[in-house]
Amino acid sequence: MIALTENRKSLLFPKLEISYLEPRPAWWKVRPEEIMETCRNVRKGRSEIIAETPGGFPVYAVFYGTFDDPAHQTNWSAGSASGKPELYTGSPPRPQTVLWCSGIHGAEAESVAAAVNLIHLLEHGTDLLGRPHTRLAELIRNYRLIIVPCVNMDGRAISPDHLRKALHHDFRNASQGSWLDGSLIGWLGSKEYFPLPLDKVAHPGGYPNARGYNIMHDASPGNIRTDEAGGLLALAEKYTVDFMLNAHSCEGEPILLPPTEFNSAQGIEREKELFGEVNNALYLAGLRSAPPKGSPSCAYSINLNALIPLVSGGNAMTLECCVSGNYSFEELMDANFVTLEAILESGLRKPLSSRK
């Protein structure tokens, strides 16, 4: 495990323990040291460190496909305005590039477990349960795939291994934290501070990093505060990312959230199509109780997803996995695989981004 300086160790709160949660399965590898070991042992792909957290952890990206891109002649902003977008995207076009980032909110472990299992699948031919996911593996060969298995390693370090069947209060405490008087900070309350005042909390939750920043909302162009967000955005620009799957967790059914208003008209239309296709796939897999109905309304939500169209001309959507109900550990993880497979299937029929 990476050695933390005493100064950086002092930034990390103790790991939150919830006594009644059942032990995790052996294949549910979500501790920082397990994530780092998985990334260091990549051989069929390659891994690199794209950022270092305030707590001293490396943030790894793992690459599958050919990433020998020459330096861009221009960036997406200038290239799109020039009338020659290929000056940024390259000519002939490269294979579509998909970025899967997990654990931006460190307490949300479902997608982290899935990302580690996906890396094992691509390295060894099966996930850690021995399942081959044959169609998913076939689809990935048509793309360039970048996996960031845990963006917020600080939040992961102080969070439980899972929140499956956690009570509402404990889910909120683990996710967004609590104040010194024991009251919950809450989902909305956590957004009232940037950064969260860590001297005023009993537990910060897994949302922020060790300096109190909620990386999901580190989205002010020209004033990115965290190396973690900066590393993701640099990846998206350098490798012409066509689609970013931003995987989170919630207390409801798994769902690919509707697009936000902060994208081009064609980008929003493509994301609406993906909303329907992915959520229908989750329904058919028995992970949702009903298929999607009609075209979704766009959300007014400014977050890291909104910057992907600006830096690469690609699209970005949020998957919310589930920690409640009667889902098994396998089902909690498989929502990620079903979602990724549906996105890649869709991308073979129609490009995941439309750069015009």
Please spell the DSSP secondary structure of 130-171, one letter per residue. Answer: S---HHHHHHHTTSEEEEES-S-HHHHHTS-S--TT--HHHH
Which is it for strands 315-322 and 243-250: parallel, antiparallel or unpaired? parallel
Residue 325 pLDDT > 90:
no
pTM, two decimals, is: 0.95
Average pLDDT value for residue range 34-48: 98
Residue 355's pLDDT is 79
- Which position has the token pair 């404990």? 170
pLDDT band for position 320 (50/70/90)? very high
Joined together, the tokens standing for residue 327 give 């889902």
pLDDT band for position 354 (50/70/90)? confident
Tell me the average pLDDT of the chain. Answer: 94
The closest alpha carbon to 13, from 200, 186, 214, 157, belongs to: 157
Q: Are 85 and 356 in contact (CB under 8 A)?
A: yes
pLDDT band for position 8 (50/70/90)? low
Residue 91's pLDDT is 82
Q: Which residues contact 251 (CB under 8 A, 6 or more apart)?
A: 168, 171, 322, 323, 324
Least confident interval from 150-154, 239-243, 351-355: 351-355
Q: Cα separation of 15 and 106, whole Å?
A: 12
Query: 176 — phi, psi (to 5°)?
Result: -110, -10
Q: Are 329 and 321 in contact (CB under 8 A)?
A: no
Q: Cα separation of 185 and 194, whole Å?
A: 13
- Which position has the token pair 């032990």? 23
Residue 294's pLDDT is 87
Average pLDDT value for residue range 334-352: 98
In tens, the pLDDT along 95-129 reads 999 999 999 999 999 999 999 999 999 999 999 99
Joined together, the tokens standing for residue 243 give 């689609």
Residue 7's pLDDT is 46
Cis check: omega of the bond before 92, within 30 degrees of 0: yes
- Which position has the token pair 């993880």? 333
In tens, the pLDDT along 84-95 reads 888 999 888 889
Task: Kindly state the percentage of the chain with pLDDT values over 90.
Answer: 87
| DSSP structural state of residue 115 | H
Average pLDDT value for residue range 7-17: 75
Average pLDDT value for residue range 188-199: 96
Residues in the chain: 356
